[in-house]
Copies of this chain bind each other. A is one copy, B any other.
Amino acid sequence: MRVFAEIGATPAGGVNRQALSDGDRAARRLLCDLALARGFGVFQDRMANLFVRREGRNPSRPPVLIGSHLDSQPTGGQFDGALGTLSAFEVLESIEDLAIETDGPIEVVAWTNEEGSRFAPGVMGSMAFAGAADPAAWQSLTGADGASFADELAATLAALPEATMRPFGTPVAAYLELHIEQGPSLEKENIPIGVVTGVQGTRWLLVTLSGQAGHAGTTSLAYRRDPMVAAAAALHQLQEAIMPADPQARLTVGRMMTYPGSINAIPDSVVFSIDIRHPDPDRLDSIEAEVRRVCEEQAASQQCSCAVVRTFDMPSATFSPVVVETIEMAARSLSLASKRMVSGAFHDALFLARVAPSAMIFVPCRDGLSHNEAEYVAPEHILSGARVMLETTIALARRPA
């Protein structure tokens, strides 16, 4: 863990190891070297997803796949992604050390470009692997730093000549991903293991309320068409209605702009984002409908117009009950408290769940902090997570085909 965190280390104790950068290539090189030293097989596909394989008794069985990603945010932490990938590798080493035989093979995976901060979108590698996107569409992308996606991908593939190329979408028996929670609930409830039953669906709505600019002093109430009045009323109504009534719902307004933005003028228009999330697609539909209705009603009450545009739509995922229960049994056998939870963030498991029985293990992170150089996971939580992963992986690999 520490050695990997030195690759792209930032002065503030974080990591800048963005996808397909020199740092990303160095981390992949290191993982490949560690794998080859243990006699494991190393493979990559044309999205540079990297696989480390320990053979089973029956090489024709699809592997149990365990892992996460190695790329980071530009001012990311040491644990987001890397913890899941390196824990998976330690699980593989432990199984090797213990000389445990499994019927099917076990593979560790490091998915390419989960973060999406250098080249958007994120979760590229797993999305392409699961056949949910055609990577040809990304070839002409330019990164936030001006780099060519196609060039950086080719350089990354070429940097591991030892890795055998394989096609996309090879069959997978089960997928397991350990990740930091990136939220505060496990830490606050003092529970070491989160058993993730699915990923919330996410939609981004961009709301534009338009009225009429006017002088702050000369325009009396009767002559105002103030979109800020409509915005405050709509947001207050939605904030009171959605989350308090439904513990699984999320509604966040992270960005608001006013135009022209003069202190002494009624704005002509107010634009804000609404991020809504829910594990149930029907409930997500009904929340979106409520957002649209409330914004339109409050706009109309101020003689303003309202436009709501959906700018992003990530469907929810429901993980495999079998994998979820296997994780729970593993935690119980280790006397570790666990709780079922839904992930509010995207993960590669979101797309793997479309092609294989999948689930995730969450471990607590300090203060819920992530995408932050101060991100931290206590050593005992890392150990607990890795032990649950080991037990779960062995159980999954021993399942009848």
Interface residues of A (CB under 8 A from B): 181-185, 188, 200, 202, 204, 214-221, 223, 226, 228-229, 231-233, 235-236, 239, 243-244, 247, 250, 252-258, 261-267, 270, 273, 275, 277, 312, 343-345, 368, 370-371
Contacts and interface: CB of A to CB of B under 8 A. Distances in A.
A384 B263 CA distance: 33
19 contacts: A182-B218, A183-B220, A183-B223, A204-B263, A204-B264, A215-B370, A217-B275, A217-B344, A219-B344, A220-B247, A226-B252, A228-B253, A232-B236, A236-B236, A252-B264, A254-B261, A255-B258, A255-B261, A256-B257
Contact of A233 (B204, B236, B267): B236
Assembly stoichiometry (copies): 2
Given A254-B267, A263-B254, A344-B217, A188 B223 contact: yes
B215 A228 contact: no
A258 B254 contact: yes
A264 B202 CA distance: 10
A215 B277 CA distance: 12
Given A183-B223, A254-B258, A262-B254, A217 B267 contact: no
Contact of A223 (B184, B214, B267): B184
Contacts of A219: 183-184, 250, 344, 368
